[in-house]
Amino acid sequence: MSDRVLDVRGLVKRFGGLTATDHVTLDLQRGEIHALIGPNGAGKSTLINQLCGELAPDEGEVRIMGRDVTGLGVPERVGLGLGRTFQITSLLTEMTVAENIALAVQARRGGNFRLFDRLRGRKEVWAEVGSLLQGSGLATRAGIRVSGLSHGEKKQLELLVALAGKPAFLLLDEPMAGLGHSESQEMVQVLKRIAQEVPMLLVEHDMEAVFALASRISVLVYGRIIATGSVEEIRNHPEVREAYLGQEDELC
């Protein structure tokens, strides 16, 4: 089997006269964290939306686990192995940590949300919830309502909810956004642990986190990937430094 869980070829999205993604080609391989960085307005969200299936590309191809999914929507892509977290939280705030994970486990198993009360008795669902929580930063927070969690804890819960879908890979859209320094450091450790099992395409502005996590980095500028390489290659890449002119500190 190919090592590529995600394969993107020549993806183009135009908004009127603006080319938001301009023949983007990249892939995600088993065992890696591939970070996607770029200045504001570079086209990162547009690209992520095309990878999820929320936005149809004008040109190009997306493959998940070798299968062409370019014409497929979000649920079909999720069914083939796509997992993701959102910039805007999708958690149910009046439910507990464990209940949020249980709903995601049940959704993967083809359950109906209205059957949630009956779900309470489903041992196998709760066993799965327990094993997802075990070893996570939320192990002691299972019974707490989401509304009582810190921002960092909510971000961790979003990851557990995404993992409950047993994805082949994860698309992470700014997991560090809004986190304080120690919360970010904790999140880096959480992502490192998860990446041993589940490869990730990571869109992130926090360069310290990107450099700590990424096996490969791609740089998107004005819709084009201008470089892909290791942390060292990207740090020293002249075009990348040029694109981040005025933000060089972030690359040091």
115 within 8 A of 70, measured Cβ to Cβ: no
Q: What's the min distance (Å) between Cβ of 50 and ligand ATP? A: 10
Of 41-49, 78-86, 102-110, 112-120: span binding ligand ATP (CB under 6 A):
41-49
Q: Minimal CA–CA distance to 184: which of 157, 158, 151, 214? A: 151
Residues 2-31 touching ligand ATP, rule: CB under 6 A, are 15, 18, 20
210 sits near ligand ATP (criterion: CB under 6 A) = no
46 sits near ligand ATP (criterion: CB under 6 A) = yes
Q: What's the min distance (Å) between Cβ of 40 and ligand ATP? A: 4
Q: What's the min distance (Å) between Cβ of 49 and ligand ATP? A: 8
156 sits near ligand ATP (criterion: CB under 6 A) = no
134 sits near ligand ATP (criterion: CB under 6 A) = no
Q: What's the min distance (Å) between Cβ of 244 and ligand ATP? A: 13
Q: What's the min distance (Å) between Cβ of 46 and ligand ATP? A: 3
| Interatomic CA distance for residues 71 and 203, integer angstroms | 23
Q: What's the min distance (Å) between Cβ of 180 and ligand ATP? A: 20
**Judged by CB under 6 A, how many residues of this single chain contact ligand ATP?**
11
Q: What's the min distance (Å) between Cβ of 236 and ligand ATP? A: 23
Residues 175-204 touching ligand ATP, rule: CB under 6 A, are none
Task: Please enumerate in sequence order all residues whose Cβ is within 8 A of that of 242, keeping only pairs 6 or more positions apart, or say none.
Answer: none
Number of neighbouring beta carbons within 10 Å of residue 148: 11
43 sits near ligand ATP (criterion: CB under 6 A) = yes
44 sits near ligand ATP (criterion: CB under 6 A) = yes
172 within 8 A of 202, measured Cβ to Cβ: yes
From 6, 26, 33, 42, residue interacting with ligand ATP (rule: CB under 6 A): 42
82 within 8 A of 172, measured Cβ to Cβ: no
Q: Indicate the pairing of strand 82-84 with strand 67-68.
A: unpaired
Residue 177 sits at the vertex; the CA angle it makes with 171 and 179, to the nearest 5 degrees, is 125
- Dig out the tokens for 66 from the structure: 């070798």
Half-sphere exposure at residue 5, Cβ-oriented, CA atoms within 13 angstroms? 23
DSSP 68: E
CB-neighbour burial class of residue 219 (10 A; exposed 0-12, middle 13-18, buried 19+)? buried
Select 41 or 73, whichever has its Cβ closest to ligand ATP.
41
**Where does this chain bind ligand ATP (CB under 6 A)?**
15, 18, 20, 38, 40-46
